[in-house]
A and B are shown apart, each in its own frame.
Chain A
Amino acid sequence: MAMTRAMRKRLAGFLFVLPAFLFVLLFMIFPLLYSLFLSTTSYNFAYDASPTFILFQNYVEIFKDPLFLNSIKVTLVFVGLGIPIGIITPLVLALLLDSLGRRTTLYESAIFVPLVVPISLGCLIFLLMLDPTNGYFNFFLTKRLGLQPFNWVESGWTALLIMVLISNWEMGYQVILFLTALKGVDRELIEAAEIDGASGIQRVFYVTLPQIRETTAVVSVLAIIRAFKIFVHPMVLTRGGPLHATETIYFYLYRTAFEFFEMGKASAMAYFLSFAILLVSVANLKIFKTD
């Protein structure tokens, strides 16, 4: 075979990558392109034999759908509530853990272990605990504290807030990212600030935080993207209720596809959501470039 060594090496590299790429091509790229095509068609999976091409009509129509607009609003509220809880709390926890240096294994395990619990099952545990009649939480409120029972799904706002809190049970990922960044902070600078008489709080704000701002940006973007993608929580906890108050974009997209079988519209919503997430990611890259 008249194949040079360099050519053989190139071929080998390509062959190593090929199996994984084929999987991604067949089960990610192809479906995503198919979905892009579907988003330009009218296609009710229950009634229509095949999709009818209608260009961008879906992208216009979904924005006339009050429930879709509602789902955008709910998602934005979710993002807004989730950012302070999902970024500041993990940052504070990471600072506390880091300040102790060693002997934090037990605390870290406790904070990280919810990450391995399937989200849907985590939701079930919270449903049991928060159950208005038999849940532990209401036992505690009524029998121990003598208060009125609390029905968290009665009002849209409490349902949304509780959902944000439950979704942050799994905040260990952000804590890990912050902890890793804090390990890389220049200790000498901190000691120098200490000698100069800076208090603990001052050291955090003027020395530590500026050094981990890249990670803070990454965590913020991850938190925003995660809030955009929230789906399992409304699906298992509330089914979008009460009165659509917890119906996120992703959840409404799911209903459009698998309750109403409007595959074209659902695909358009999916691409709208993907585009929003892509925008946030690009903004993230821009932040990186400026550093």
Chain B
Amino acid sequence: MIRLRRIKGWQLLVHVILAVVSFVFIFPFLYIIATAFKTEFDTFNNPALLSLNLTLENFHMIASSGIKLGAYYLNSVILTAVSTIFVVIISAAGGYGFAKFKFRSRKPMLITMLLTMTFPLGALLVPMYIMEFKLQIDDSLIGLILPNIAVNAPFAIFIMQAIFRTIPDELIDYAEIDGCTPFRTWLQIMIPVAKNGLLTAGILCFRSVWGEYTLARTLSSSARSIPLSVGLTFLKWERWHFGIMSAIILLAIIPPVIIFLIFRNYFQRGLAIGAVKG
């Protein structure tokens, strides 16, 4: 008999518990994947999670169902891409400035930024709505991109300044002796060294903007700017076919889930940094 490497009884028990818990956590995914590929008959008559009649009819029916999935999807992609790129750039600069330079307004500026993180988005909705209404940028992508950058910048800066702090000052000194301007030092020496941090900040920002609901629900009113996170919630009041609904949700969560699976470590590390200082 082959003896397995000594797995103690309690370890086996822990494995069983964690396997059950994991199943509970991913069950909603299994459910919509299964439902998205089921026939209409099976969805309503066959309670089994898995059905043997796999079909793509739900995906085909999205096009003819009249939902503006394409517009919502494009809005989400543009909104998330532009916001994330901007947040990464301004937090790479801001984090560097806060971590490696001393100037008179440094502390008040840093405290102000961190303080804004404690405010709930709710306090921002009313003034933002009135402001955008008066500037006539409500229900536009730019009207969503600007506040999304502002909301995500403080946390990204917090991460970036923590990363830049770990880079030794000597690196900057050498660059300066070589005659680099501060901007060139930042762009050509610091950015490459901190690229893992930038990736972390970018991934967290991507996740945050792709899932953002509150601002979009308040500031958007048509397919011109409504992203997936809001657009799909309007469907539930209609008598929607469960299969089509599942197919649509599945398509909407694929990008963040793939990014998570590829960059899980960065994601985890980024969230852990946020904890070091509440």
Contact = CB atoms under 8 A, between A and B. Distances in A.
Contacts of B106: 13, 17
Interface string A90-119: 000100110110001011111111111111
Contacts, number: 292
Contacts of B113: 20-21, 24
Nearest to A117: B253
Given A124-B236, A231-B122, A270-B120, A116 B260 contact: yes
A26 interface: yes
A258 B218 contact: yes
B47 A136 contact: yes
Contact of B119 (A27, A131, A274): A274
A19 B120 contact: no
B154 interface: yes
Nearest to A104: B18
Contact of A21 (B15, B94, B124): B94
Contact of A17 (B109, B217, B218, B249): B109
B18 A128 contact: no
Interface stretch (A61-69, A137-145, A148-156): A137-145
B136 interface: no
Contact of B257 (A31, A34, A116, A215): A116
A78 interface: no
Contacts of A118: 210-213, 228-229, 252-253, 256
Interface string A260-281: 0001001100110110011001
B264 interface: yes
Interface in B149-166: 149-151, 153-154, 157
A26 B150 contact: yes
A14 B207 CA distance: 29
Interface stretch (A52-60, A173-181, A190-198, A202-210): A173-181
B21 A107 contact: yes
B211 A119 contact: yes
B218 A13 contact: no
A84 to B, nearest CB: 17
B120 to A, nearest CB: 5
A264 to B, nearest CB: 9
A148 to B, nearest CB: 16
Contact of A263 (B31, B130, B186): B130
Nearest to A107: B18
B118 interface: yes
Interface stretch (B53-61, B63-71, B96-104): B96-104
A200 B13 CA distance: 14
Contacts of B112: 21, 24, 29
A19 to B, nearest CB: 5
A180 B253 CA distance: 27
A31 B10 contact: no
Given A26-B150, A31-B124, A270-B123, 8 more contacts: A12-B182, A28-B124, A38-B127, A107-B22, A112-B264, A134-B43, A134-B44, A274-B123
19 contacts: A10-B104, A12-B101, A13-B100, A20-B91, A24-B153, A27-B151, A28-B116, A35-B126, A108-B268, A110-B21, A111-B21, A113-B261, A115-B207, A118-B253, A122-B28, A139-B47, A257-B126, A270-B123, A271-B123
Interface of A: 8-17, 19-21, 23-24, 26-32, 34-35, 38, 45, 93, 96-97, 99-100, 104, 106-129, 131, 134, 136, 139-140, 143-144, 169, 173, 176-177, 180, 200, 215, 218, 221-222, 225, 228-229, 231-232, 235-236, 250, 253-254, 257-258, 263, 266-267, 270-271, 273-274, 277-278, 281, 284-285, 288
